[in-house]
Structure 1
Amino acid sequence: MLHTPKEKLVLSTRDFYHLIEIENIIYCKSDNSYTTFYLNGGEEIKVSVSMKNVEQKLDSSTFIRPHQSYLVNIHHIKSIQKSSGGDLLLDNGKTITVSTRKKSEILHLLGDIKRIQV
């Protein structure tokens, strides 16, 4: 059986280089020139890198920007609220607001996910 290695991202903090599997990133949150990565299992890693830099490193078909401060892995979205601007409920329980101007873009990107609507 052929084993395919999982794609990783290297995050540099003051004391460590963290090698994380990209699929384990639930979302990223921007705080000025810092970005915090929220991972499966509750781990958080804060790095001195702008969100724009992070967005350029991650696949745009997997990571969406629902709001200026957030970058979300679509594979960790549990549900989307239909009303108002909409909210994304992630599988770790976090709710992220979708900006009004991003809602149609988010719904378009999510349309590519295989689903059955009942």
Structure 2
Amino acid sequence: MAKKVLIIDDEDAARLVIRQYLGAFEELQIIGECSHGQEAVTAINRLEPDLVFLDVQMPGLSGFQVIQQIVHVPQIIFTTAYDQYALKAFDSNAIDYLLKPYTLERFRQAVSKVLLRPGAAAMEAVKNLVDQAGSNATTYSERILVESGNKMTNIQTTDIIYLEAERDYTRLHTEKKNYLSNYGIGVIVQRLDPRYFIRIHRSYIVNISHIKEVYREDNGILVVTSNNVSLKVSRSYTDDLRRLMY
């Protein structure tokens, strides 16, 4: 009997890669996909998958928060672009992780490892993973290096007003200048402190300290930044923004 698989990632492209790679495993059957943390909790408990591919950073709830809230505990392979602190903890557990971008061969290794693991051991490994990752993944860089022409510029993260996706790249906007990073916005969001940076759209991440005002108009909610740029808030990220409202 085929094992049931649930794919959880807020990036369409990331889910597509997993779907394509799973085509090599006849013993695995995809039963659903999710792009939001809270939706993931509901889907895991309702569908009771045997295996879950779970992104670390998502709107609503992070991957760690998801596994802390689920009742049904499946085998889990984390998929993430965040390679500091947390991944060192992942590496000590039999439940695997995939560091984006990953190859088909690396994918095969992770799946093979999980398929050989009994359910009770998977539950214990997930518990250990949460405990270790929670204690290790709490430090974020206060300064980052981004390309500026033929050199790297040292930027203090507090100076970033917002970040904007530009295809496979990300533009970082500050008061004086903007910079184009070679990393996609899905990678960068996992390297910024979530206490200060909030994703409001697939294309935008905003520094909370630089939110000037939020207002509603006919076609949705808009955030106005400290440099007077209006950014649209997508419906799937509205709950994250509402958590800041009192």
TM-score norm. by structure 1 comes to 0.81
Q: Deviations over 1:22-50 (max 9, x none)?
A: 10000010011111000122x01112111
Instruction: Note if contact 2:147-2:179 (Cα within 8 Å) is conserved in structure 1.
Output: no
Contact residue 161 and residue 210 of structure 2 kept, 8 A: yes
Aligned: 1:60 with 2:194 = yes
2:229 aligns to what? 94
Alignment partner, residue 204 of structure 2: 70
Shift of 1:92: 0.1
**Structure 1: gaps of 5 or more residues:** 1-5, 112-116
Aligned partners of 2:207, 2:146: CA distance in 1, in Å?
17
Q: Secondary structure at the match of 2:150?
A: coil
Offset, 1:102: 1.4
Letter in structure 1 aligned against 2:233: V
Report SS of the residue matched to 1:81.
strand
State the match for 1:107 in structure 2. 242
Deviation at 1:94, TM superposition (A): 0.2
Distance in 2 (alpha carbons) for counterparts of 1:14 and 1:83:
39
Return the structure number with greater strand share: 1
**1:80-100 residue CA offsets vs partner (Å, 9 max, x unmatched):** 013453100111010000012
Q: Does residue 152 of structure 2 align to residue 22 of structure 1?
A: no
- Following superposition of structure 1 onto structure 2, how do residues 42-61 of structure 1 map, counting pairs within 5 Å? 43-61=177-195
C-alpha distance in structure 2 between counterparts of 1:10 and 1:19, whole Å: 5
- Sequence identity, in percent? 26
Larger RCO: 1 or 2 (CA < 8 Å, sep 6+): 1
Cα offset, 1:103, TM superposition: 1.3
The Cα of 1:57 is off from its aligned counterpart by 1.0
Determine the C-alpha separation between the residues in 2 that align with 1:7 and 1:102: 25
What do you get for the CA RMSD once the two structures are aligned?
1.8
Deviation, structure 1 residue 7: 2.0
Aligned-residue offset at 1:59: 0.5
Question: Which digits, 9 at most, give the CA deviation of each residue in 1:48-90, with x for residues without a partner?
Answer: 1110111111001111110000111010000001345310011
Cα distance in 1, alignment partners of residues 187 and 237 from structure 2:
20
Paired residues of 2:197 and 2:206 also in contact (CA < 8 A)? yes
Distance 1:83 1:12 in 2: 37
Deviation at 1:13, TM superposition (A): 4.5
Which of 1 and 2 has greater Rg? 2
Q: Distance in 1 between matches of 2:205 and 2:171?
A: 10
Amino acid in the other structure paired with 2:185: M
1:28 and 1:70 in contact (8 A); partners too: yes
